[in-house]
Amino acid sequence: MTREEALLKYVLRLGDNALILAQRLVQLVAHGPELEEEMANANFALDYLGQARMFYSLAGELEGKGREEDDFAFQRDEREFCSFLLLEQPNGHFGDTIARSVLFEHFYIPQLEALANCSEPRLAAIAARAVKEIRYHQRHDSQWLTRLGDGTEESHRLIQESLDDLWRFTGEMFEGDEIDDIVRDEFGGPDLGQIRETWQHNIAALLNEATLRMPGEQWMDMGARSGRHTEHFGPLIAEMQYLQRSYPGLRW
């Protein structure tokens, strides 16, 4: 694999992560438990959607075959998406949504911080902008995690269950492949081993503050980097892609 091919695939993966989480959060729009949380969620969904668009636009430039952001989002099949399994998991209850975001954002921030210093200037610029948005998401979501964990007996039980259920999807974030290696070595991209240490340290501190138990070592579900997904992914992109699949090229 050439370094250019690896960079293109890496940028597409970044776009996939942002797009799939955006789609999940968009599904919650108009279902927020509070007006204020509704606004926060919609803001966050738009942040992720905006990031997906920037990553896909860059991917289109890198590929140079005339594909645009919409082609990547709406004209690819399930196996071509390399987003983390964690992100396609259903919204569930409020605690499930918060736990999913917290687990991802603690990975995504150090990833973006490293990319902001990489040698591909367009990617570095997108990462520098995106990390500001995600730092706020992380603040908001982590504060909720603390309050749910340290809240009532019921909220504590529910958020602990959310963490236990989602934990098996966290391992693959750190399991790099050839593409991760090339982006690290050739472009000064993130070191996944370092990110894992940062993640474990920060998540442990947060769970401790939230009076929650860190789930133990266990079997980890993998698949993202090879395009394998859980059963939730098909319905998600079916809904997301419906319009462009039925009416290809349709515009507002």
Taking the least distance from each CB to another protein, the nearer of 89 and 142 is 142
Q: Which of 139, 157, 232, 245 binds another protein (CB under 8 A)?
A: 139
Beta carbon of residue 38, minimum distance to another protein (angstroms, whole number): 9
Q: Which of 57, 75, 91, 143 binds another protein (CB under 8 A)?
A: 143
Beta carbon of residue 20, minimum distance to another protein (angstroms, whole number): 23
Count CA within 13 A, CB hemisphere, residue 42.
Answer: 11
The span of 82-90, 107-115, 124-132, 138-146 binding another protein (CB under 8 A) equals 138-146
The span of 32-40, 55-63, 77-85, 178-186 binding another protein (CB under 8 A) equals 32-40
Beta carbon of residue 137, minimum distance to another protein (angstroms, whole number): 11
Taking the least distance from each CB to another protein, the nearer of 156 and 168 is 156
Beta carbon of residue 44, minimum distance to another protein (angstroms, whole number): 9
DSSP 141: H
Beta carbon of residue 40, minimum distance to another protein (angstroms, whole number): 4
- Residue 140 found at the interface with another protein (CB under 8 A): yes
- Residue 34 found at the interface with another protein (CB under 8 A): yes
- Residue 33 found at the interface with another protein (CB under 8 A): yes
| Residue 56 CB-density burial (10 A; 0-12 exposed, 13-18 middle, 19+ buried) | buried
Spell out the long-range contacts of 155-162 with Cβ–Cβ below 8 A and sequence spacing 24 or more: 155/95, 156/211, 156/212, 158/93, 158/95, 159/95, 159/98, 159/99, 159/210, 159/212, 160/212, 160/213, 161/95, 162/92, 162/93, 162/95, 162/96, 162/98, 162/99, 162/100
Beta carbon of residue 155, minimum distance to another protein (angstroms, whole number): 11
- Residue 211 found at the interface with another protein (CB under 8 A): no
| Footprint (CB under 8 A) of another protein, residues 41-70 | 43
Which residue from 78, 75, 81 is spatially nearest to 248, judged by alpha carbons?
Answer: 75
- Tally Cβ neighbours within 10 Å of residue 249: 9
CA atoms of 148 and 55, how far apart (whole Å): 33
Distance in angstroms between the alpha carbons of the first and the last residue of the chain:
38
**Which residues in this chain contact another protein in the complex, by CB under 8 A?**
33-37, 39-40, 43, 136, 139-140, 143, 147
